[in-house]
Amino acid sequence: MDEVQLNLVRRCLSEETSRPSIEKVRYLVLVLGCGAVDLTNSVQRLNKDHHNSGGFANVHRCRLHARDMDASVPQLGSRYQISSTMACDDVAVKEVKFGENPDVLKIINRLFREIKLWLQLEHENIVPLLGVTDGFGSLPALISPWFHHGTLTGYLQRKHKMLSYNAKFALLRDVARGLQYLHSQSIIHGDLSGNNVLIDKNGKASLADFGLSALLPERMSQALLPTNPTCTAPYMAPEYLIFDDEGNTLLEFSPKSDVYSFGGIMLQVLEGKIPYHYIARYEAIINCISRGIRPKRPPAHVVSDVDWHFIQSCWSQDMEHRPSDEAILDFVEGRPS
């Protein structure tokens, strides 16, 4: 039993007025079980409402007060350049949502898997997990840096006309490097889209929410597809849309499915619009994907023949004909810079 565990036992055995609540004990046990850093005492909620919401979580913009961080977590500062002399820094706090008729134990197990997986990762194009905090729902909430420019989709809506061809491929190189790293760690993103790529104040892109495949069963139910599908559908690989009579996918997740999604990211970065932007209904987009109808090509001065050919190779119906991670990286790094 380590010091953190002993401290929890001491608190539970202390005088009645000093004992933690059962909710706090549950939180601390969960934190101890996944090995994350508890930053509850260092996080300040900026407002009661969440900043945005996704299929599985609400995201809150909060403030991390580095000076208040426990001295027992110096590794956090050294790994993520968080200094105890800093007054504060904005962070994103991800509150896990239960949804309707939840299987609580399954959700807890998925959260454990995501935290343990996320803590193992360290790459400049992967959003880091700083720690967890209490006070955002009944489960530990996940803390990561706040990205000044937000999602890739929002960034392109605001900045696309100002981005040079080289700057666009700098973004694609960031995404490709992050994706290659995930796959080298035997992790499949499973939900790569313009809303799961974040842009920092320097314009560098990092992958976020990459653990969907770790959060879902090996056989994904149709009911577990993202509940905010209009953000994800335009990037979705066709193999995700093949279901058996019970509504489960017939194919397991594959790195090649992420490659298909990368093709959508590449088109979006070059054109400045999400794939199938000309189709309003989610169901119509899904129908196009399942029938093999790919997004329309923009004019040649927007997407060159070479770039369009590569995007199409990412969208091959046969997964084995899609490029490898190395081929993607070679292509985007070989473009003019």
Read off the pLDDT of residues 293-336 as tens digits, 9 standing for 90 and up: 999 999 999 999 999 999 999 999 999 999 999 999 999 999 87
- The Cα–Cα gap between 304 and 75 comes to 46
pTM: 0.82
Greatest mean pLDDT range, 118-127, 167-176, 186-195: 167-176
Is the pLDDT at 106 greater than 80, yes or no? no
Average pLDDT, the chain: 80
Q: What is the CATH number of the domain that holds 87?
A: 3.30.200.20
Q: What is the CATH number of the domain that holds 243?
A: 1.10.510.10
Residue 23 banded pLDDT, cuts 50, 70, 90? low
Residues 202, 160 within the same domain: yes
Q: Which residue has the higher pLDDT, 95 or 48?
A: 95
Residues 80, 162 within the same domain: no
Annotated catalytic residues are: 191
Residues 103, 182 within the same domain: no
Domain final residue, candidates 96, 122, 145: 145
Residues 204, 318 within the same domain: yes
Tokens of 291: 């029938």
Burial of 158-174, coded b for 16+ CB within 10 Å and e otherwise, reads: eebeebeeeebbbbbbb
Burial of 232 (0-12, 13-18, 19+ CB in 10 A): buried
Residues 140, 156 within the same domain: no
Residues 234, 290 within the same domain: yes
- DSSP line for 25-54: HHHHHHHHHHT--B-GGGEEES-SS-SEE-
Residues 194, 73 within the same domain: no
SS3 letters across 159-228: HHHHCCHHHHHHHHHHHHHHHHHHHHCCCCCCCCCCCCEEECCCCCEEECCCCHHHHCCCCCEHHHCCCC
Residues 284, 194 within the same domain: yes
Tokens 């193992």, residue? 120
Burial of 68-94, coded b for 16+ CB within 10 Å and e otherwise, reads: ebeeebeebeeeeebeeeeeebebbbb
Close Cβ partners of 301 (under 8 Å, ≥ 6 residues apart): none
Q: Which residue has the higher pLDDT, 135 or 288?
A: 288
Structural domain harbouring 160: 152-334
